[in-house]
């Protein structure tokens, strides 16, 4: 029997995160809901080391800015190049071999700390001196915009990034661990994970669903469109998840954040359209006896839009967070490494 896509095949043991079908996600035993108001850097440290000492915030701040050579690499790439290709190209060039005290993972933490500056530089077209006095979330927002964001929106962005740090053996993490298993460098493993994340079946649903919602004239029109799309066998981006048989707990968190933030703003209509799409999808699935719900991607794009990221930069926001998860998996894989070598059945 061939398990296409390795579905249901257990390939590793991990202590980093646990995804349960009933709608539970934990990072090293801590429910994700309990972590969303914690500073991002503290949760990144927790995922990577199993400790929350406060060391990561000043460390990431110190490493945040690109040096002149790194900035030249980013600004030397065409502005028209998709930002996910920029990340995949630049990560292997962020090689400084720093001494941070995490062994082989030092270079990965260095690269992960630089990604917000890479994204900000490619977005704006010029190098940014990242403000070391600001926390991780505030620092990125300050780099991409001169706007004074509300603390609620900063908190929502911080929570969004926390919710995306880690999600067990997903496609990007598996790709990263496959490369790590060859004893390749950590930056090669990260670049592989980012490459997998760029695919529309992995990252990108937040962009796709907002592109769809933007074409809807009203919530009523959105329900009609979703109903017709589902009747014809189409799919709704950001709906359903292979691992969950309940609503994605990350989606529940983000829906609550977004719902409070959009009130009285120009984004209210988009939220109402998304909500109508979700309700129509849920009702249709219930009629078919299927228990499918929104996943983390469905409402996430609105938070990225509210901080000023263009749609095609959304997956970069995802990658900025998930890279810390790749670092954690790299460290874990080194403890009992064995190169991946699955078999294939030859057919003439």
Q: Which domains does the chain have, with CATH numbers?
A: 31-198+310-334 (1.10.580.10), 205-305 (1.10.230.10)
Sign of CA dihedral 221, 223, 228, 234: positive
pLDDT at 244 over 80: no
Question: What pLDDT is stored for residue 89 in this prediction?
Answer: 96
Antiparallel, parallel or unpaired: β 30-31 and 17-20:
unpaired
Contact 253, 295 (CB under 8 A): no
- pTM for this entry: 0.95
288-303: average pLDDT: 88
User: What pLDDT score does 192 carry?
Assistant: 98
Q: Ramachandran region of residue 131, left (φ > 0), alpha (ψ -120 to 50) or beta?
A: beta
Closest C-alpha to 31, from 230, 190, 244, 253: 253
Segment 94-97 long-range contacts (CB within 8 Å, at least 24 positions apart): 94/70, 94/187, 95/185, 95/187
pLDDT of residue 5: 85
| pLDDT surpasses 80 at 1 | no
The pLDDT score that the predictor gives to residue 97 is 79
pLDDT (mean) for 110-114:
97
Mean pLDDT across 292-299: 87
Contact 161, 137 (CB under 8 A): yes
Helices 56-63 & 40-49, crossing angle to 10 degrees? 110
45-100 confidence digits (pLDDT tens): 999 999 999 999 999 999 999 999 999 999 999 999 999 999 999 999 997 878 99
pLDDT at 23: 85
Res 138: pLDDT: 97
Pair 249, 23: CB distance under 8 Å:
yes
Mean pLDDT within 225-252: 86
- How many C-beta atoms lie closer than 10 Å to residue 318's C-beta? 27
pLDDT band at 3 (very low <50, low <70, confident <90, very high): confident
Q: What gap in Å lies between CA 65 and CA 322, rounded to an integer?
A: 19
Whether residue 240 is predicted with pLDDT greater than 80 in this model: the reply is no
- pLDDT tens-place string over residues 262-282: 999 999 999 999 999 999 999
pLDDT more than 70, % of the chain = 100
- Say yes or no to pLDDT of 241 above 90: no
Average the pLDDT over each of 1-15, 42-56, 254-268 and give the range with the smallest value: 1-15
């Amino acid at each position: 029997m061939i398990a296409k896509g390795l579905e249901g095949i257990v390939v590793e043991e991990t202590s980093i995160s646990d995804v349960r079908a009933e709608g539970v996600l934990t990072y090293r035993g801590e429910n994700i809901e309990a972590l969303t108001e914690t500073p991002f850097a503290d949760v990144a440290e927790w995922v990577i080391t199993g400790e929350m000492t406060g060391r990561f915030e000043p460390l990431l701040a110190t490493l945040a800015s690109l040096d002149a050579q790194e900035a030249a690499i980013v600004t030397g790439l065409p502005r028209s190049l998709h930002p996910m290709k920029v990340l995949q190209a630049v990560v292997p060039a962020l090689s400084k071999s720093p001494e941070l005290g995490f062994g082989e993972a030092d270079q990965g933490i260095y690269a992960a700390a630089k990604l917000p500056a890479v994204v900000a530089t490619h977005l704006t077209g010029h190098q940014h001196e990242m403000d070391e006095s600001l926390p991780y979330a505030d620092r990125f927002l300050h780099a991409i915009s001169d706007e004074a964001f509300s603390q609620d929106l900063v908190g929502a962005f911080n929570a969004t990034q926390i919710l995306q740090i880690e999600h067990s053996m997903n496609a990007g993490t598996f790709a990263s661990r496959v490369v790590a298993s060859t004893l390749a460098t950590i930056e090669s493993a990260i670049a592989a994970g980012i490459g997998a994340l760029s695919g529309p079946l992995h990252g990108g649903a937040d962009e796709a669903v907002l592109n769809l919602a933007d074409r809807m004239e009203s919530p009523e029109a959105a329900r009609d469109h979703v109903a017709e799309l589902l009747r014809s066998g189409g799919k709704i981006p950001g709906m359903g998840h292979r691992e969950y048989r309940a609503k994605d707990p990350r989606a529940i968190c983000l829906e609550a954040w977004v719902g409070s933030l959009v009130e009285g703003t120009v984004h209210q209509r988009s939220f109402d359209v998304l909500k109508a799409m979700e309700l129509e999808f849920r009702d249709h699935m219930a009629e078919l006896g299927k228990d499918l719900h929104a996943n983390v991607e469905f409402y996430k794009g609105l938070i990225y839009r509210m901080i000023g990221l263009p749609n095609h930069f959304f997956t970069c926001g995802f990658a900025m967070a998930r890279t810390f998860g790749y670092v954690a998996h790299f460290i874990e894989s080194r403890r009992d490494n064995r190169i991946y070598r699955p078999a294939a059945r030859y057919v003439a």
